[in-house]
Amino acid sequence: MMTRASFIIRLALLFALCMPIFPAHAAEPPHPCGAVAWMDEIRILQADFERERGSAFTRELLQATLTSMLPAVDAHLVVRRPVSANPNWLVRWEGSSNDTSTPFYAVLDNTDARDLYRGVLAQACLLLRQKDPEKAGRWLSGTWRSLWSEFEKAFIAQLDDPAAAFGFSDTALSIESPSVKSANEWYSLQWLDRAFGIARLYLPDLYNYAAPPIDEELAQLRAQAPVKTLILDLRDAGGGSVDILQTLLARFLPVGTLAYTLRKHQGQETEVRVKENTSPQADRQMRLIVLTSKKTRSGMELLAGALQANGRAVVTGEPTAGMAGYKRILKLSDDNSLLLTDALPRFAGQTQTVRRITPNTAAAQKALTIALATLAENGQQPENPFIRPDEHRFPLVQAVLERNSEEALRLIDAGAPLDVEASRDAMHHAMPYHFQPEAYGQTPAIGYPLAIAAAAQGMPKVLEAIGKRAPELLRRTDTDNRNALAYAALGGFVRSTRILLGHGLDPLHRARVYPILNTPLELATHLRHADVVALLMAAIPRERLGHTAVLESVWIAAGRNDLPTLQALLEGGADPNYIAPQGGTALIDVVKYRKIDLVRLLLKHGATVDDHLYRGLNVLQYAEKEAANGDPVAREILELIRTAPRQDRGWKKSRDTEALEQLWKMIENPGKPAKPEESKKEKAPP
């Protein structure tokens, strides 16, 4: 007769035999820090690098990354890597009298990096909770997802691959960058000096410009005069299609010429020779000068290096970006990708692979001038059409470009003309990329008025001096209709803003091109310049506070969790009850994301607690939804919303808002047609 104990034992054995066999990492104990979703991406990296570069390199790379990333969580956390005498990893909390060590993971030859990282972070998490609970609460709320960015930085630093530094998401083979040439050209082929037979070809990347545009446009130039010299401007240019690269090489080099030899990390080499194409023979006879900058990268570095190594072109400018070679995209999980250098080139006559091309020493912005100087004939130098004569005739422009206020004021007092402009090219060297207005194709003749140049450079005394002599010049605009106040707001220059407002410039002046963020107020709000926002709001008449730019700014500041800017807007009289085109409001946004300080501020300044619906929920329902997770901040927000005065302000939805809500309903309920909202009036009986 089977006893109860023996029956339980047999049942347990049977259950064990019937259990499926899983990999060791499939069933994981709960992590003390919550979910660590990005661990799978580490495993993808490990597998890829072991295949491409071997296990020894991969293990050293990932272990060095782990060692360097942990102090980002807290400076006291230190990882001790294993040594032969002690094959265990240690996480230590250093810098206090009660210093402790926690051995936790034995290192094996085939250690899975994912499990190793998980174990290290688990112990780091426990130590942080023990030593600094307040900081642990900030780091460990929800998940450790935020540590992925720390891993990226440490991994890129250890990998030392310039391509990887472009990021783990939304990568592309041609990376956009600020321009050092004419005004944001996308492509151009034009005469520089027809009398000398000098043309300039600018290619931003290797995509659609090799044929037929170059063939057609060169033919048009040759119909006017012989093209003796072609300046190939590759400053800031990127990579792209290998086929287009081959087409350009064949245009300038004989068929069969060795362009470069590619060497992969494991040592395999492949020769790349010029293939035959139908380019005119004349292209292989005219003189070539190549211009480079520190942002010339990838395929354009290969083009410059091949032409230089084969003696076909003189390269002038700056050393290139260091991304020469072929690239590949490694797809990670969670919509992330990593751009990696797959193979490096060795050019003709070289024994080692190279990352960057080294030209004759010259700054990128002076490369064209130097190139033209080499083409002088009979003591006469070709003209550079991208340098405006203004900057040579008027030292005042140059003083502003160099931010030399003392010299600029001296020149203004001496009667220097003020109705002058700085060229777009010169100004784009002096300002951040996001300051630059949009422009397409050829360089426009117009430049930047002096007042705009002074505002962008943050020179209030110069603006004040211009205002005393010729106040009307402070109102001049650029090609996008942006005035000096917009540039002062962009830069966050408080004194310049105050001076321009004193001369009556409008904080709500709209630019011509940009559909949003195109007034000085919106620009200052977007860039978190709260002091400038306060000045701009004080200058807006009360009857204009209902302007869309003012209402949009409240929504923008709330969505960006920018308390100082939001406070400046609300104290300046901005209405917090604005329904954005997407259907949300500032109060709903801060409730959804549990920003309690912003909730208090909006309620204090009259934000409405009512039944306006955004994606089917009102503000009270959003507060209840967030509080259901037990978060103490969310519960406190819920109490604020419940006790706030309720008010029906007769919300009216725009057509755009209703259309967006219908779209959301279709996305959230696929297969079901979106129906318009029923009228709240009772239907009359038939």
**How many residues are there in the chain?**
686
What pLDDT is attached to residue 683? 38
3-state SS of 327-380 is EEEEECCCCCEEEEEEEEEECCCCCCCCCCCCCEECCHHHHHHHHHHCCCECCE
Answer yes or no: are the C-beta atoms of 354 and 324 closer than 8 Å.
yes
Distance CA 176, CA 205 (A): 9
In degrees, rounded to 5, the angle at the alpha carbon of residue 435 between the alpha carbons of residues 498 and 152 is 120
What pLDDT is attached to residue 180? 36
What pLDDT is attached to residue 12? 46
What pLDDT is attached to residue 390? 44
**At residue 314, what is the residue type?**
V
**How far is residue 338 CA from its own chain's centroid?**
15
**How far is residue 42 CA from its own chain's centroid?**
24
What pLDDT is attached to residue 499? 96
Distance CA 235, CA 240 (A): 15
Peptide bond into 345 cis (omega under 30): no
Answer yes or no: are the C-beta atoms of 610 and 649 closer than 8 Å.
yes
The residues of the chain scoring below 50 in pLDDT are 1-2, 4-5, 7-28, 106-109, 142, 170-184, 388-392, 438-445, 515, 674, 676-686
What pLDDT is attached to residue 462? 96
- 338-341: Cβ within 8 A, 24+ apart: 338/45, 338/164, 338/168, 338/171, 339/163, 339/164, 339/166, 339/167, 339/171, 339/172, 339/173, 340/161, 340/163, 340/164, 341/161, 341/162, 341/163, 341/164
Count Cα atoms within 13 angstroms, Cβ side, for 172.
11
Count Cα atoms within 13 angstroms, Cβ side, for 167.
10
Residue 120's CB is within 10 A of a number of other CB atoms, namely: 22
Q: Which residues of 237-259 are buried (b: 16+ CB within 10 A; e: fewer)?
A: bbbbbeebbbbbbbbbbeeebbb
Dihedral pair phi/psi, residue 264, rounded to 5°:
-80, 170
Question: Pick from 264, 311, 312: which is nearest to 288 by CA?
Answer: 312
Q: Which residues contact 16 (CB under 8 A, 6 or more apart)?
A: none
Answer yes or no: are the C-beta atoms of 524 and 536 closer than 8 Å.
yes
Maximum separation of any 2 CA atoms in the chain, in Å:
119
How buried is residue 625: exposed, middle or buried, by Cβ count under 10 Å (0-12/13-18/19+)?
A: middle
According to DSSP H, which parts of 527-654 are helical?
A: 530-538, 548-559, 563-571, 586-592, 596-604, 619-627, 632-643
Strands (E) in 412-534, as ranges, are: 421-422, 448-449
Using CA atoms, how far residue 289 sits from 26, 181, 589, 667, in Å, is 59, 16, 55, 55
Distance CA 664, CA 587 (A): 20
Count Cα atoms within 13 angstroms, Cβ side, for 152.
17
DSSP helix/strand/coil, 229: strand
Question: Pick from 421, 432, 434, 454: which is nearest to 523 by CA?
Answer: 434
| Domains along the chain with CATH numbers | 39-160 (no CATH), 188-373 (3.90.226.10), 576-647+654-672 (1.25.40)
Distance CA 125, CA 114 (A): 16
Dihedral pair phi/psi, residue 584, rounded to 5°:
-90, 175
Q: Which two tokens stand for residue 415?
A: 């009667």
Distance CA 669, CA 674 (A): 8
Q: DSSP letter at 288?
A: E
Strands (E) in 362-484, as ranges, are: 421-422, 448-449
What pLDDT is attached to residue 530? 95
